[in-house]
Copies of this chain bind each other. A is one copy, B any other.
Amino acid sequence: MRRGVRLCITGSEVMNGFVLDRNTQFFASELYALGLELVESRILHDDKEQILKTWREFSETGDIIVNSGGLGPTSDDLTVDLLCEWLGDQPIYEPHAEKRTRYFFERRARDKTRAISVEVALRQARIPSRAQAIRNTVGLAPGIFIPEQRFIALPGFPDEIRGMWQETLDKISSLGLQRSATRIIPVWGVGESQLFTGLEVPEGVSVGVHALPWGCRLFLRDAGAGESILNAAAEAVGARYPAQVSEDPLREVIEYCSANSLTLSLAESCTGGLAAKQVTDVAGVSAIFKGGAVTYANEAKQNLLKVQANLIEEFGAVSAECARAMAAGAAQLFDAKLSLAFTGIAGPDGGSAAKPVGTVFIALHDARSAETRVGKFMFPFGRDRFRAATVACGFLALRQYLMAAEKKPWPLAEFI
């Protein structure tokens, strides 16, 4: 077997079932995308003997060890002390982390009623003396890199790991590992079975797929064919789905709006704020995002978005007509150039023979031309995936409408 990375995830909260481990998948998919191999992932309690035994076993393989967890301030955070025991080293305060931790906790310590021991908090600012620090921009505990042991320690919090990942990859690269060329093609609005139907992959290219709420991520990996054949295979997939291949349709839309002085508003019924949440996940979006109305109740659709009561009576709140009126109403309410509206049946209740659970209407209003376009979709995948797919579909439609040569917003007929 080629050399790769072995993952050790420590945390009794994972082993006791309180927390779903998402880190294995994060590391696995990131390493795979880089053409590296994740050989094994072990999840362990915060247990000295088990962790040390695992590190020793991993170390004998020559693979890179990535340990995640155990860097916090409490007594069950063992990573730094165990590393020192393993390597015969001593912990030191990492200067940058020490400064941040003191700043954060000494202010608190002045207030006697909620004093927290600065000494306890400072435990998380330690690294072994011979280690290099990996900077943590989200939390307080620095990561740890020990090149001669091919060892990396990261926190357990996914958002902290993400913030440290680029620097971590640089460290991994510095250790020298064989890579396979890999092309990752995010295809929005396509299911796994559908993507594979008629997919032709040349010999010497291995194929993998990761199904997601918004579509699939297709992985093509060079397994002997060479890079030019790999690239041709990737291009063939792109040509098959001209409107659906995108790293992130929402970001593309936001960048396009920023560059073209366009503003956006949202009207959400079934998606309940998820679309607004995703837009505002992007820092600095306030320049283009005017706001959103979560109009769960029909009276809110009427009062805020000026949807006519008789329209709802005649066609229902889940209808193309209502979606259109919501989109136009939101553009007006927020004085925005563009507006997306979502109305559908997330389930588990509320479906009918004519409009089963999973039915959703998405409308796109362009105030510049006073045009409104609406699409009907069917995402009968359960409440969470219904909402994720609906929101993704809306942003993909907006991207297609704004950025494609033809202003046809609904590339996803196949998704239905």
Q: Which residues of A contact B (CB under 8 A)?
A: 1, 12-22, 24-33, 38-47, 49-50, 72-76, 104-105, 114-117, 120-121, 137-139, 159, 163, 184, 192-194, 196-197, 208-211, 217, 219, 266, 268, 271-277, 279-281, 283-286, 289-297, 299-300, 303-304, 333-335, 346-349, 380-385, 413-414
Contact = CB atoms under 8 A, between A and B. Distances in A.
B193 A74 contact: yes
B114 A13 contact: no
A415 to B, nearest CB: 9
A4 to B, nearest CB: 10
A382 B163 contact: yes
Contacts of A120: 193, 196-197
A286 B350 CA distance: 11
Contacts of A116: 193-194, 197
A383 B285 CA distance: 13
A51 to B, nearest CB: 11
Given A17-B28, A197-B115, A294-B266, A304 B276 contact: no
* Stoichiometry, copies per complex: 2
Given A193-B116, A193-B120, A18 B300 contact: no
Given A18-B217, A19-B25, A20-B25, A73 B193 contact: yes
A25 B30 contact: no
A352 to B, nearest CB: 16
Contact of A28 (B16, B138, B193, B271): B16
A32 B47 contact: no
A271 B299 CA distance: 24
Between A73, A163, A277, A283, the greatest number of chain B beta carbons within 10 A of the residue's beta carbon is seen for A277
A291 B293 contact: yes
Given A121-B193, A279-B272, A12 B208 contact: yes
A76 B196 CA distance: 11
Nearest to A286: B296
Between A104, A116, A414, the greatest number of chain B beta carbons within 10 A of the residue's beta carbon is seen for A116
A290 B280 contact: no
Contacts of A24: 14, 21, 43
A199 to B, nearest CB: 10
B280 A289 contact: no
Given A22-B20, A40-B42, A159-B382, A276 B294 contact: yes
Nearest to A54: B40
B300 A296 contact: no
Given A275-B273, A333-B304, A25 B21 contact: yes
Nearest to A33: B17
A275 B297 CA distance: 16
Given A40-B42, A76-B208, A116-B193, 9 more contacts: A14-B24, A15-B41, A18-B29, A39-B50, A76-B209, A137-B382, A291-B304, A293-B293, A297-B334
A217 B45 CA distance: 16
Nearest to A27: B17
A290 B300 contact: yes
Given A29-B16, A276-B273, A414 B114 contact: yes
Please give me the 3 A-B residue pairs with the lowest Cβ-Cβ distance, nearest first. Answer: A17-B29, A272-B280, A273-B276
A162 to B, nearest CB: 9
